[in-house]
Amino acid sequence: MGFLSNFQKDLKSAKAEKAAQINGKNLKELLKKFSEERDRIEKDTGSRPQIDESTQLFMQKILNVWISEGKEIDEEKFWNEVDHNRQFTHTVEYYEIKR
């Protein structure tokens, strides 16, 4: 019986991991499109519009998780990267405050 319950846990874990990867890819594509649109607006108007609310909420969740894990994050650096949609090209260590 223990074998089956471990198998079910492993299966659920694998499914959750796969879903997270798919959601991450979809989100990355959306964030890239939003960034491109903001770049276009900045080029047309001369000023960069604010980050849309859904992107800001998602990135705030990521920031909160990192902080809850005990990491000291340079928030200015973090939000600058989010603003220009480069947040997926760096590891969490990139945003940590060096002491």
Interval 47-96: pLDDT, tens = 877 777 877 787 888 888 888 888 888 888 888 777 766 666 677 788 78
How far apart CA 72 and CA 68 sit, in angstroms, is: 10
How far apart CA 35 and CA 86 sit, in angstroms, is: 10
Query: Can you give the pLDDT at residue 86?
Result: 65
pLDDT digits (tens, 9 = 90+) for 19-29: 766 666 676 67
- Mean pLDDT across the stretch 13-22? 73
Query: Can you give the pLDDT at residue 29?
Result: 75
The residue among 44, 49, 98 whose CA lies nearest residue 71 is 98
Token pair belonging to 7? 């198998």
- The predicted model scores a pTM of 0.49
